[in-house]
Structure 1
């Protein structure tokens, strides 16, 4: 009977210590020997006490927790900066490699791009198409064609979903995102681009109706209406944007942009006065815009 209890105790201790000290088999082995030689009592040895908290006081424990949190935050920030720096280093060599590296390196860069989201590197890929190394050029063309294929498939799928589920915010948002990426890809002729711009306008309008977080959609819609020279619609959109987000400096700046494009000096000045009369804390960019137009430029 005693051996069965002892065996069960060893099995529980083995499992518990394995979970606690799985990163160091030496520490696990030492503690297992202690609890095996001294059943139950072995768990009370200082060997199992938390480090730096032997005094047991609340102050010591609080100080220990604080230091651990600070060390964790430092490590977290360090890792974040390291990843951020690595991302920057990963982008820069792609452009440089296509210009100065040997052919083998260029080909490797293109293969790496093919494994990633090529949409982020379209401008680089377009330049690589005319590279003197034919294999590098071939990889670039392949990446561009694959990106175009994926975009078209996504557009077709989301177009059907949007038609069937126009009130589904996720579907509308995804469709808007893919349309924006497709229009900025450089794959479209002028006629196709114009068609997609009007589709994008309709999708943005629907997104604004459905979402209470639609600032980006207002900005996209206003800029697109300006590009299409639909200035009356752009003014109406900008006024609706400001009415819905009266504490957003971007709403004021969008309306100023519309009146500048319309060459309506009086309305522009009126909007500036409204902005100056608010309690908004303006960014440097907004302050520059206000000062520029306030000086009568």
Structure 2
């Protein structure tokens, strides 16, 4: 009997060492299991091993069941709103759903995460969060909006000083124009302030074009800004220059169609449409849809 107990305790000690070594994988009741094995001779070790085996089987079954449910949900496109771990999933869950579905504490943590990251691109959704029924969430959203405005204002001041000191390089013009563009699109400003920034933005784009340091996006932005400023002659002038600089692109044609449509210049609109149809430029899917739609309208 003594030899049996000696063998049992040797095995129990080995089990305890293994259990302690892999305590994180095997669960949080390591101390209890070791105590159970040591204080219940002969029966403690078999019972503990049996419990471990049952627990392991249960976990495997739970994981398999979870995977099966996920596959069923994916197959049938079932959207299940579950409790959100904001720290891990704030970049995966749309902010609209988070604001509508999640509990108040999750909403607050989500807004704090946006404050830690770069919320500039999330301005429209932050505006939505401002009117959220949870006052703390709306407070965080307002804080985020104010922080965005502060950073953009500092950016404008920085590049304005460099521009004012005579640094009219393409790099300075591009950075200065970009920070103003972001500020304009951030909203929350009165009409005179917006027009003032838009005028500066348009002027910077004009300098880039005059330096022959402008791509198609700059031309489109320049024409749009002149149109918003209601300086139609300037918009038309840069439209002609756009086509001259990029004669083998469809974008000057599409920009012209938009401009002529806004200015209600019907003859110029359909003349440009006909020129696009007859031109050798490669037309995108969007351009092809424009041609088909307006060709039917003008027929």
Alignment TM-score, normalising by the size of structure 2: 0.66
**CA RMSD, Structure 1 to Structure 2 (Å):** 1.8
For 1:142-181, what aligned pairs fall within 5 Å after superposition? Answer: 142-181=143-182
Q: Which residue of 1 aligns with 2:98?
A: 97
Q: Which residue of 1 aligns with 2:220?
A: 219
Q: Which residue of 1 aligns with 2:204?
A: 203
Structure 2 SS opposite 1:243: helix
Structure 1 spans left out of the alignment, 5+ residues: 1-87
For 1:11-50, what aligned pairs fall within 5 Å after superposition? Answer: none
Q: Which residue of 2 aligns with 1:274?
A: 275
Give the Cα separation in 2 of the matches to 1:162 and 1:89: 38
Give the Cα separation in 2 of the matches to 1:218 and 1:120: 23
Give the Cα separation in 2 of the matches to 1:135 and 1:273: 57
Give the Cα separation in 2 of the matches to 1:92 and 1:120: 15
Q: How has the CA–CA distance of structure 1 residues 121 and 194 changed in structure 2, closer, same or farther, with 3 Å as cutoff?
A: same
Give the Cα separation in 1 of the matches to 2:155 and 2:90: 30
Q: CA deviation at 1:210?
A: 2.5
Q: CA deviation at 1:89?
A: 7.7
Structure 2 SS opposite 1:248: coil
Q: CA deviation at 1:188?
A: 1.2
Assess if the C-alpha contact under 8 Å between 2:208 and 2:214 holds in 1.
Answer: no
Assess if the C-alpha contact under 8 Å between 2:170 and 2:213 holds in 1.
Answer: no
Q: CA deviation at 1:225?
A: 1.6
Structure 2 SS opposite 1:90: coil
Larger radius of gyration: 2
Matched, 1:235 2:227: no
Structure 1 SS opposite 2:290: helix
Structure 2 spans left out of the alignment, 5+ residues: 1-88
Q: Which residue of 2 aligns with 1:256?
A: 257
Assess if the C-alpha contact under 8 Å between 1:238 and 1:254 holds in 2.
Answer: yes
Q: How has the CA–CA distance of structure 1 residues 264 and 94 changed in structure 2, closer, same or farther, with 3 Å as cutoff?
A: closer
Q: How has the CA–CA distance of structure 1 residues 267 and 156 changed in structure 2, closer, same or farther, with 3 Å as cutoff?
A: same
Give the Cα separation in 1 of the matches to 2:221 and 2:142: 30
Give the Cα separation in 1 of the matches to 2:161 and 2:136: 38
Structure 2 SS opposite 1:295: helix
Alignment TM-score, normalising by the size of structure 1: 0.67
Q: CA deviation at 1:228?
A: 2.2
Aligned residues: 210
Assess if the C-alpha contact under 8 Å between 1:252 and 1:275 holds in 2.
Answer: yes
Q: How has the CA–CA distance of structure 1 residues 265 and 159 changed in structure 2, closer, same or farther, with 3 Å as cutoff?
A: same
Q: Which residue of 1 aligns with 2:111?
A: 110
Assess if the C-alpha contact under 8 Å between 1:169 and 1:211 holds in 2.
Answer: no
Deviating runs (4+, > 3 A) in structure 1?
none
Q: CA deviation at 1:293?
A: 2.4
Structure 1 SS opposite 2:234: helix
Deviations 1:25-50 (A, max 9, x none): xxxxxxxxxxxxxxxxxxxxxxxxxx
Q: Which residue of 2 aligns with 1:131?
A: 132
